[in-house]
Amino acid sequence: MTKFVFVTGGVVSSLGKGIAAASLGAILESRGIKVTHLKLDPYINVDPGTMSPFQ
């Protein structure tokens, strides 16, 4: 049975979302669970680093 884990966050960078997701994946893999990471970026043709957090 396939299960999904979503790690989400706002537009504020450096919150550690990537490290948290990678650490969780490493823990699951060490227990013999197959893990696939997928990063989704909802911005199309926009650099989110230049946007205001209120947009």
Give SS3 for 15. Answer: coil
The region, left, alpha or beta by phi > 0 then psi within -120 to 50, assigned to residue 17 is: alpha
pTM: 0.63
Q: Mean pLDDT by 10-residue block, N- to C-terminus, for the chain (55 residues)?
A: 84 77 94 90 71 68
